[in-house]
Amino acid sequence: MGNNTKKLVISGITILVFILVLYLFLPFIFMGSAAPFFVIHNHDVKGHEVAVEVFDQQNKSIINETYSLESEGDFSQARPLSLRFHREKREYIFKVTMDKQITSTVKIEIPHSHTLVDIWLYSKNYESGEIVPISMETESIV
């Protein structure tokens, strides 16, 4: 290979790497880092053990963890690295079990990496006024 050909190949690779870096990191420059994957809010005066299992679109378990929450405490789960860069809508199934007794399973659509899932323990339903043991909803933090 000639000296000019080597320079051309190196220049081409450098440009491709630069474009790839821009593609991956430009959204973070304008929108900030990704939101946590989910946040558990315990609104009860008692502490609880909460098991969270999350399944992806292929029904593969991507998170299966148990957390201990203090009374009226919160816990934030960081978004797995593989989920920080997606830009399209994805559906997940969240299975939340509290104190090995009460289970709620919900299919949730997460539109982008700046949307988190709020998991509420013993929160008040504002429409009916009743206390719900486990409820889940999405929240966008853009």
Question: Would you state the pLDDT for residue 121?
Answer: 96
CA distances for 100 relative to 3, 49, 73, 111, angstroms: 68, 8, 19, 30
Residue 74, amino acid = D
DSSP 83-142: GSS--S-EEEEEEEEETTTEEEEEEEEE-STTEEEEEEEEEEPTTT--EEEEEEEEEE--
Question: Would you state the pLDDT for residue 60?
Answer: 94
The helices-and-strands tally (H runs, E runs) of the chain is 1, 8
Question: Would you state the pLDDT for residue 25?
Answer: 64
Q: For every one of its 142 residues, what pLDDT tens digit does the chain have, with 9 covering 90 and above?
A: 677 888 888 888 998 888 877 666 655 555 556 789 999 999 999 999 999 999 999 999 999 999 999 999 999 999 887 777 666 788 999 999 999 999 999 999 998 888 899 999 999 888 888 999 999 999 887 6
Question: Would you state the pLDDT for residue 20?
Answer: 77
Beta bridge partners of 66: 51
Give me 92's structure tokens: 């997940």
Question: Would you state the pLDDT for residue 4?
Answer: 82
Question: Would you state the pLDDT for residue 28?
Answer: 55
CA distances for 127 relative to 43, 114, 123, 130, angstroms: 18, 27, 12, 8
- CA 142 – CA 139 distance, rounded (Å): 9
Question: Would you state the pLDDT for residue 72?
Answer: 92
Question: Would you state the pLDDT for residue 83?
Answer: 75
CA distance from start to end of the chain:
50
